[in-house]
A = this chain, B = another copy of it.
Amino acid sequence: MTSLDEKFRKLATDNAPGQEVRQRDDDINSLMVGGTLPGAPIDFSHGDVDAFEPTPGAFDRFAQGVQIGGRRAYTEYRGDAAIRAQLAVKLAGFTGAPVAGSDDLIITPGSQGALFLALAATISAGDKVAIVQPDYFANRKLVQFFDGEMLPVRMDYLNAGEGAGLDLAGLEDAFIAGAKVLVFSNPNNPAGVVYSRSEITAISQLAGRYGVTVIVDQLYSRLLYKGQAYTHLRALDIDPHNIITIMGPSKTESLSGYRLGVAFGSPAIITRMEKLQAIASLRAAGYNQSVLQTWFAEPDGWMEERIRRHQAIRDELHATLIAVAGVTARLPQAGSYLFPTLPALTTAPGDFVRILRLQANVIVTPGTEFSPHAGRAVRLNFSQDHHAAMSAVERMIQLIGRYRA
């Protein structure tokens, strides 16, 4: 059992997206070489919802929710029953397995809320939890916060061929070692890779064999690039009482400002999640829940156009970066994250990230947030204005040159 001091020390948010304003920069000046590079500031730590605007009709739905009044303000803790019923049909269709709106689904404050509640509902102090490296940084922090013991499993995304590159033997070792829960994102955050059908099948078989509960974060599973297949774990032969799927409209649909997410699957786990939500924040904001009525109901062609525009940015960004000596990066198969590995530099990786912000007005997220083995990588969310993103990456490349070892 870690002390509260230790627990909150580990819960560092200094390098988390959006928190740069709280950093102290006194010590970095002595490391800087040369002057600043002019150009519009860009924040690759999250998507730009001004460049890719929220789903059409989202605000109108919110306004309707306010009009409905008290009945929408005070929903069940798990969310409005009518909205849950609508969502259940859409999510069952999308994922290819049944969802009962009454019992299998909870609406949460963002998919972050869903992840928090799902791990709280499944991890006791001392429980072993398999996590992937690299993967979304909150997975690690949540396991630590709930006093779980992490069993890391490597993902060799750079040399994976078609799949994500998960070390399946390593996963089985973690299960043999007693992992009670596996949590992972697919598409992977930060690498933008998609698990192949054979990888997902192997995960379902191993989870069944060892009785492991799987929490799969599918936040980016709608933004698949041309020709990319996607396998929903919950549609395979897996115990429906042992899986929770998490999604939300914050990324592809640019609705993060409304803080909406969902978790669906095991009714017993959903019930626990609701009990905890009752004391954590009561419910996802009632009026905001109405906005979920736009989800999976976007205008014809809207999603295709959104994917096309992201694909254009991805292609140019990726080609530009890998043309730089010493930069390696896999072409993302889904989502809007690019995770290049940089060449050896004269500064420590964390310092380079701060220098990039101070000298080039470019914010990226350090690779160490996602894996202790990704110190030379940085994550870029390229859901940005295309031109501004390219200009920012040019500045980043200039600084790579300036600080190259």
Q: Which residues of A contact B (CB under 8 A)?
A: 1, 3-4, 8, 11-13, 16-19, 21-22, 46, 48-50, 54, 59, 62-63, 65-66, 69-70, 72-77, 81, 108-110, 112-113, 115-116, 121-125, 138, 141-142, 145, 256-259, 272, 274-276, 278-288
Give the contacting residue for A66; candidates B12, B13, B109, B257; CB below 8 A: B257
Give the contacting residue for A16; candidates B13, B77, B81; CB below 8 A: B77
Given A13-B274, A108-B281, A280-B281: 10 more A-B contacts, CB < 8 Å: A8-B121, A8-B272, A13-B278, A19-B77, A59-B63, A65-B257, A112-B281, A116-B280, A257-B285, A257-B287
A112 and B3 contact, CB distance less than 8 A: no
23 interchain pairs, CB-CB under 8 A: A1-B125, A4-B123, A11-B272, A18-B77, A19-B77, A19-B278, A49-B69, A49-B70, A54-B66, A59-B66, A66-B257, A72-B257, A73-B256, A73-B257, A74-B256, A109-B285, A113-B281, A116-B281, A125-B125, A258-B287, A259-B285, A280-B281, A281-B281
Q: Lowest 6 A-B CB distances belong to which pairs?
A: A73-B257, A259-B285, A109-B281, A257-B286, A11-B275, A113-B281
Assembly stoichiometry (copies):
2
Give the contacting residue for A256; candidates B62, B113, B115, B286; CB below 8 A: B286
**Which residues on B sit within 8 Å (CB–CB) of A280?**
112-113, 116, 280-281
A256 to B284, CA, bound (A): 11
**Which residues on B sit within 8 Å (CB–CB) of A18?**
74-77
Q: How far is the CB of A147 from chain B (nearest CB, A)?
A: 8
B282 and A112 contact, CB distance less than 8 A: yes
**Which residues on B sit within 8 Å (CB–CB) of A74?**
17-18, 46, 49, 256-257
B286 and A259 contact, CB distance less than 8 A: yes
B66 and A110 contact, CB distance less than 8 A: no
A11 and B276 contact, CB distance less than 8 A: yes
**Which residues on B sit within 8 Å (CB–CB) of A145?**
276, 279
**Which residues on B sit within 8 Å (CB–CB) of A50?**
69-70
Q: How far is the CB of A274 from chain B (nearest CB, A)?
A: 7
A141 to B277, CA, bound (A): 12
Q: How far is the CB of A52 from chain B (nearest CB, A)?
A: 10
Identity of the chain B residue whose Cβ is nearest the Cβ of A51 in the assembled complex: B70
Given contacts A63-B59, A75-B18, whether A259 and B281 have CB atoms under 8 Å apart is yes
A285 to B289, CA, bound (A): 12
B281 and A13 contact, CB distance less than 8 A: no
**Which residues on B sit within 8 Å (CB–CB) of A278?**
11, 13, 16, 19, 138, 141
Identity of the chain B residue whose Cβ is nearest the Cβ of A180 in the assembled complex: B4
Identity of the chain B residue whose Cβ is nearest the Cβ of A58 in the assembled complex: B66
B259 and A81 contact, CB distance less than 8 A: no
Residue from the set A109, A138, A145, A280 with the largest chain B CB neighbour count within 10 Å: A280
Identity of the chain B residue whose Cβ is nearest the Cβ of A121 in the assembled complex: B8
